[in-house]
Amino acid sequence: MNDRLSDAQKISIGAAQFGFPYGIANKTKNFNLGNINEIIRCAEKNKIDLIDTAILYGDSEHNLGSVGVSNFKVITKLPSLIDNQKDLSKWVNDQVDASLSRLKIKKLYGILLHKADDLLGPRGEELYRIINELKAQKTLKIGISIYDYFILDQVIDRFNIDIVQAPFNLFDRRMEKNGRFKKLEEKGIEIHIRSIFLQGLLLMNKKDIPNYFKRWEQLFFDYHRWLDSNKISPIDACISFLNQFKEINKIIIGIDSLIQLEEILVSSKKSLHTTCPEFSCEDLDLINPSNWKL
């Protein structure tokens, strides 16, 4: 296989922005259907074949359905379980049917659990049985979206799933720790990586980084000094870093504009001519955006 071509084909569209403002560096607060259509048609033209969305992403599914995504593989995510959900099978099937209706497509490529630890809760076995039946009935893939790697390790030891979606970037390298890439690959589980720009933080100019991140000032200083001294753009650095890991099947990127998508497509075909230093940080107050106090 041509590695450079495969790197470009790993790019997938993350559609959270199509439903609501998303990402610390996102200047486009409201997409209209024209903006979304431009991005989707550009993706189609460049042979991007997968779109990742979720039921909880505001109007994302509806907007994707309006512009037309029938030529794409589409993954969506189920909301977390409600404690008093009585008929779990009906709830899951109703959620999936509603997504198909909003997306205006006949089938999904995959269904992920937005809250992976639902599988580890009191109704986890029942939930797994239901989504596994759905997998057989609708010929789709099932999986989890994770934030907590302890949960990932537990889930893949107990359940047979097809896809794991997880954050991974220059600062957050937990996915490669403890042999996780190798273990997932050996189990035949597709690895879909998100948050490659750390919600845009890794693309920001130094002067624009919010004061909240001042406690990691040295890390940001080292990162930007390396970029400047090697004349590397932040986009090139983030994408080339991921292209080192051939276990990765898809790189899901939230797109802020058509211009950014075009930049990403160009960047995906490049390779760095310098070694990337170890910028890894395990402080969840930095690498988990849900902990940010901005």
Q: What pLDDT is attached to residue 27?
A: 54
Report, as an integer, the average pLDDT of 114-128.
Answer: 94
What pLDDT sits at residue 264? 94
Phi, psi of 14, deg, nearest 5 = -90, 125
Q: For residues 85-107, give the mean pLDDT.
A: 95
Residue 19 banded pLDDT, cuts 50, 70, 90:
confident
Q: Region 216-233: what's the mean pLDDT?
A: 95
pLDDT at 137: 94
Higher pLDDT, 44 or 84: 44
5 pLDDT tier (thresholds 50, 70, 90): very low
Exposed, middle or buried: residue 53 (CB in 10 Å: 0-12, 13-18, 19+)?
buried
At residue 163, the 3 state secondary structure works out as: strand
pLDDT at 106: 96
Q: Which residue has the tokens 């940010």?
A: 292
Residues sharing a CB contact under 8 Å with residue 160, sequence separation 6 or more, in sequence order: 132
- The CATH number covering residue 167 comes to 3.20.20.100
Boundaries of domain holding 97 = 3-291
Average the pLDDT over 214-242 and give the result: 95
Q: What is the pLDDT of residue 82?
A: 81
What pLDDT, on the 0 to 100 scale, is given for residue 74? Answer: 98
pLDDT in tens, 239-292: 999 988 999 999 999 998 999 999 999 998 887 777 888 898 999 999 999 999
- What tokens does 106 get? 């006949």
What integer best gives the mean pLDDT of the chain? 91
Residue 103 and residue 67 in contact, taking contact as beta carbons nearer than 8 Å = no
Number of domains the chain contains: 1
> Model's pTM, two decimal places?
0.93
Q: Among 49-63, 74-88, 206-220, which is the least confidently predicted range?
A: 74-88
What is the rounded CA–CA span in Å between residue 38 and residue 253?
16
Separation of alpha carbons 82 and 88, rounded Å: 10
Q: What is the pLDDT of residue 223?
A: 97
